[in-house]
Amino acid sequence: MKVDVTTLAAKKSGSVTLDEAVFGLEPRKDILHRMVRYQLAKRQAGNHFTQERGDVSKTTKRIGSQKGGGTARHGNGSVSQFRGGGKAHGPRVRSHAHGLPKKVRALALRHALSAKVKSGELIIIDEAAMKAPKTADLKKSLGKLGVENGLIIGGVNLDENLSKAARNIPNLDILPSVGANVYDILRRHKLVLTTQAVSDLEARLK
Three-class DSSP category at 194:
strand
Tell whether 124 is covered by a domain: yes
Q: Is residue 77 part of a domain?
A: no
Residue 178 lies in a domain: yes
**Full-model pTM:** 0.85
CA distances to 81, 143, 152, 194 from 155, rounded to whole Å, are 59, 22, 10, 7
The list of the chain residues with pLDDT below 50 reads none
DSSP bridge partners of 14 = none
How many structural domains does the chain have? 1
Task: Examine residue 144 and state whether it is found in any structural domain, yes or no.
Answer: yes
CATH of the domain at 170: 3.40.1370.10
106 and 205 Cβ atoms separated by less than 8 Å: yes
What's residue 65's pLDDT?
A: 85
Domain annotation covers residue 183: yes
Residue 46 domain flag = no
- How high is the pLDDT of residue 131? 93
| Total residues found in the chain within this entry | 206
In a domain, 79, yes or no: no
> What Rg do the C-alpha atoms of the chain give, in angstroms?
27
Identify the domain containing residue 132 by its residue range.
2-28+100-205
State the alpha helices, DSSP H only, in 119-174: 135-145, 160-165
User: Looking at residue 116, what is its pLDDT?
Assistant: 97
* Residue ranges of E strands in the chain: 2-6, 12-17, 122-125, 150-153, 172-175, 190-194
pLDDT at 108: 98
Closest CA relative to residue 110, chosen from 191, 24, 192: 24
Q: What is the pLDDT of residue 144?
A: 94
What pLDDT shows up at residue 126? 94
Within a domain: 179: yes
Strands 150-153 and 190-194: parallel
β-strand partners of 194? 125
